[in-house]
A and B are shown apart, each in its own frame.
Chain A
Amino acid sequence: MEQNNYKGWLYLLPAIAFLGVFMVYPLVDVFVYSFEEGYNSASQTFFGTGLYNYAYVLHDPYFLQAVKNTLILVAITVPVSTGLALLISVGLSSIQKLKDLFQTVYFLPYVTNTLAVGLVFMILFKKTPYTDGLVNLIIGLFGGKSIDFIDGPYWAKMFVLCFYTVWVVMPFKILILTSALASVNQDYYNAARVDGTSKLRIFGRITLPMISPMIFYLVITGFIGAFKAYSDAVAIFGTNLNAAEMNTIVGYVYDMLYGDSGGYPSYASAAAIILFAIVLTITCINLMISKRSVHY
């Protein structure tokens, strides 16, 4: 084919321009920022270069709190949501009646505004002078003591955050797993049934291995997503996450950049790079494990 060089570049120009300005340059710049000590965004000056920003961030109690919160969130929501989604998808694929209806309902959280529905969750869990909130009333029904889930003890708040996060990420997981299950050839199940295989064994020995690539995909994207959690927390606890002890790493980055404690792009950059390093490491470990245990 003829080499119309300039033409190809012309078509690519808009994409390259946008990516250059808003992705490649920032990528370099974020490292530069992170090594510039005492950067002042107003005067755009700095004192020197070094690792001070990283040291500061790593010693900042707010950052450590954010890391702790994020790790707990990841450790709880990824297995719970994946397991629950698997359970529901298996149930969903075994029925015929109402299947479409259930599928549609389950997908709704995907198309709703995280901030908006978070507000509803807050109301359901919140304890105010007027009312204990619906969840507390239900707890009371079973004889439990009411807790303020929004402004109360740390574990109560963490529970709400995890609960809401799971609620938000379920649609995608259910969708992916349901279509993975549907793509398993029915003959495998028939063959196993004729051989007298129990339902549990069919699930463990045939279904799981067959959809294992998709499960690993969900676990990997789940980890990445949970590490970047932020809006869910804002939705429930408001923008001042540090005060609520519910900040996440991403939240810390934004607060450093622009928030009540904002104006420190250098610290923000250092924190963002630390986050990226964590996510990259975890993803690599995940990929290594999945290579070893996905069979084909």
Chain B
Amino acid sequence: MGNQTDFERIEKAARTRQIILKTVTYLLLGIWAVMVLFPFYWMILTSVKSYSVYNSEYIPSFFTLSPTLQNYADAFTAVPLARYFLNTLVFTLVTTAVMLAVITLAAFAFSRLEFRGKNLVFTLFLALMMIPTELVIITNYATITSWGLRNSFPGLILPSVTSVFYIYLLRENFAQIPDELYYAAKVDGTSDLKYLLRVMIPICRPTLITVTILKVIECWNSYVWPRLITDDASYFLVSNGIQEIRENGFGRENIPAMMAAVVVISVPLIVLFLIFRRKVMEGVSRGGTKG
């Protein structure tokens, strides 16, 4: 151990290092935050610039003094944006609701009921988790086409109302509920279905909410399947709508109007996220993948 002046030197060096490290950290985090936010800022900014202003700016300005909402009006009148919106809403709600029903029933059977072949079927289910959608989408396309369900809601919805992964997630959660509750309910003469609705679903609400959130995000952003199965614009979802707007809408160069449409499409999920921030992030870290 050195003397007191030595100590002071060490203390000072440690403090300087601390400050430098803090600064670098905040700088790095700040840069990434700008990277993330900038596209959003740019899309909002562009959406309130008028068409003529936008096109006369060779060097785009970072703000505008004369914001206009004309582009938003155009977005809803020149292209059937409201229609896309409504389609997506219906698609998202129906898909999510049907899926919740299907997976809840399946998870209940796997966790609570006893029947011959249960373990075998469950193993088969787990094996299906490894199958990527890309592999089965070809036949599904053929199936839906042959059923004459192209350009219809059933055609859009039916292939995505089950998820083996969510069944698995929910079953694990159901299985944690102590058996005693079930026996107690049985003794009281509660039927299986009633037990599921009155006891298991309320207890496992957090998991169901997680699944709902993930499915809503997935539905709202789904692009590939709707693109395959719809070519009639009156059944387009927002993703396809955007693609359509980009290629045929507004006259190709009306960027501000396109951005207005993009803002409108992005807002619902962002608002939903900001309201249920914790739930969403918790849910995604438990059961989500993307990337």
Taking beta carbons and an 8 Å cutoff, which residues of A are in contact with B? 1-9, 11-12, 14-16, 18-19, 21-27, 29-30, 33, 41, 81, 84, 87-88, 91-92, 94-95, 98, 102-117, 119-121, 123-124, 128, 130-132, 134, 137, 167-173, 175-176, 179, 199, 221-222, 224-226, 228, 230-231, 234, 238-239, 250, 253-254, 257-258, 265, 268-269, 272-273, 275-276, 279
Residue B11, interface by CB 8 Å: no
- Contact A231-B224, Cβ < 8 Å, known A18-B158, A272-B134: yes
- A228 CA / B132 CA spacing, docked (Å): 9
Are B158 and A22 closer than 8 Å at their CB atoms?
yes
Residue B105, interface by CB 8 Å: yes
Are B246 and A8 closer than 8 Å at their CB atoms?
no
Of the residues B32, B135, B217, B224, contact of A110 by C-beta under 8 Å? B217
- Contact A23-B131, Cβ < 8 Å, known A120-B43, A130-B58, A179-B285: yes
Are A113 and B266 closer than 8 Å at their CB atoms?
yes
- A107, chain B: closest CB distance, angstroms: 6
Are A225 and B220 closer than 8 Å at their CB atoms?
no
- Name which residue of chain A comes closest to B179, CB basis: A1
In the complex, chain B residues whose CB is within 8 Å of the CB of A6: 115
- A37 CA / B125 CA spacing, docked (Å): 32
- A181, chain B: closest CB distance, angstroms: 12
Are A113 and B118 closer than 8 Å at their CB atoms?
no
Are A8 and B118 closer than 8 Å at their CB atoms?
yes
Are A30 and B139 closer than 8 Å at their CB atoms?
yes
In the complex, chain A residues whose CB is within 8 Å of the CB of B138: 26, 29-30, 33, 253, 257, 265, 268-269, 272
- Contact A27-B36, Cβ < 8 Å, known A88-B29, A175-B285, A238-B247: no
Are A8 and B128 closer than 8 Å at their CB atoms?
no
- A136, chain B: closest CB distance, angstroms: 10
Are B116 and A226 closer than 8 Å at their CB atoms?
no
**1/0 per residue B26-66: CB within 8 Å of A?**
10110011011101101100100000000101111000000
In the complex, chain B residues whose CB is within 8 Å of the CB of A2: 114
Of the residues A102, A111, A117, A265, contact of B273 by C-beta under 8 Å? A111
- B281, chain A: closest CB distance, angstroms: 6
- Name which residue of chain A comes closest to B116, CB basis: A5
- A141, chain B: closest CB distance, angstroms: 10
Are B228 and A254 closer than 8 Å at their CB atoms?
yes
In the complex, chain A residues whose CB is within 8 Å of the CB of B136: 22-23, 26-27, 30
Are B113 and A4 closer than 8 Å at their CB atoms?
yes
- A27 CA / B42 CA spacing, docked (Å): 43
Are A276 and B135 closer than 8 Å at their CB atoms?
yes
- Contact A225-B289, Cβ < 8 Å, known A12-B105, A91-B25, A94-B25: yes
- A30 CA / B162 CA spacing, docked (Å): 20
- A91, chain B: closest CB distance, angstroms: 4
In the complex, chain A residues whose CB is within 8 Å of the CB of B110: 12
- A137 CA / B105 CA spacing, docked (Å): 57
In the complex, chain A residues whose CB is within 8 Å of the CB of B115: 3-9
A11-B108, A131-B57 known, 10 other contacts, Cβ within 8 Å: A4-B115, A15-B102, A95-B22, A98-B29, A102-B33, A107-B273, A121-B39, A131-B58, A172-B284, A265-B138
Residue B211, interface by CB 8 Å: no
Are A108 and B143 closer than 8 Å at their CB atoms?
no
Are B162 and A3 closer than 8 Å at their CB atoms?
no
Are A14 and B39 closer than 8 Å at their CB atoms?
no
Residue B80, interface by CB 8 Å: no
- Contact A105-B243, Cβ < 8 Å, known A11-B108, A15-B167, A91-B29: no
